[in-house]
Amino acid sequence: MRRSHRLLAVAATLAALGAAAVGKGGKLYVTARDTRLQKDASPTAALVEKLQPGAEVIWQGADAANPRWHRVTHGAKSGVVFQANLSAHPQAPEVVASQSGSKPIDPQAFASSGAATKALSEAGLKYAEAKSIDPAVAKQVLVAEALAVQVAPADVVAHAKKAGVFCALAAEGGAK
């Protein structure tokens, strides 16, 4: 029992060191989409700006009242950001596999392209053809989409319970 408490304490300390890996005035990077740069650490604090992954901020230190929040400056704007949304290292580009090999791609550019949300309807298939996407890839996506429609929300909740993982769908009452 004591060992698990020590391990938990070490894990919490290591998690908190992400921002502490730099000194005051050092550069940190935002890791989560739509990260809130807030006026202060209160739950109802005014939004200063929404930051996107890879945004560079200057670390000013942990908030004195609530050390889970860290004071940062982004350009001319200052406020606090939740510590878990900061990293001492810039986000690595994702690698997208293709028939001709792999190439890095900026995750924000990929998300902005809408490619991640284009279902393979007739319009999606035309888009894939216009972009010279391998027909085998399109077929794999069609198979995945066909399987996905066979899974009911209740199946997702049951699987999450069986696996012992949190299911946001169950928390929101999405499946009874």
Domain ranges within the chain, ordered by starting residue = 2-87, 118-176
**E strand or H helix that includes residue 79:** strand 77-82
pLDDT at 169: 65
What pLDDT score was predicted for residue 21?
67
Phi then psi for residue 138, to 5 deg, are -60, -40
Rounded distance between C-alpha atoms, residue 2 and residue 57, angstroms: 38
Q: Which residues of 39-53 are buried (b: 16+ CB within 10 A; e: fewer)?
A: eebeeeeeebeebeb
Judge if pTM exceeds 0.85: no
The single residue listed with the structure tokens 């650490």 is 41
- What per-residue confidence (pLDDT) applies to 46? 94
Contacts by 118-127 with C-beta closer than 8 Å and gap 24+? 119/145, 120/145
| Strand ranges of the sheet holding 77-82, from the earlier edge strand across to the other edge | 47-51, 35-38, 77-82, 69-74, 56-62, 27-30, 86-87
> Which CA distances in Å does 160 have to 116, 166, 171, 172?
24, 6, 11, 14
Phi-psi region of 124 (alpha: psi -120 to 50; beta: other; left: phi over 0): alpha
Of 16, 41, 33, nearest to 91 (Cα)? Answer: 33
* 10-residue mean pLDDT series, the chain (176 residues): 50 46 89 93 92 94 92 97 92 59 61 56 72 76 77 84 77 50
CATH number of the domain at 2-87, please? 2.30.30.40
Q: Characterise 25 by phi-psi region: left (phi > 0), alpha (psi -120 to 50), beta (else).
A: left
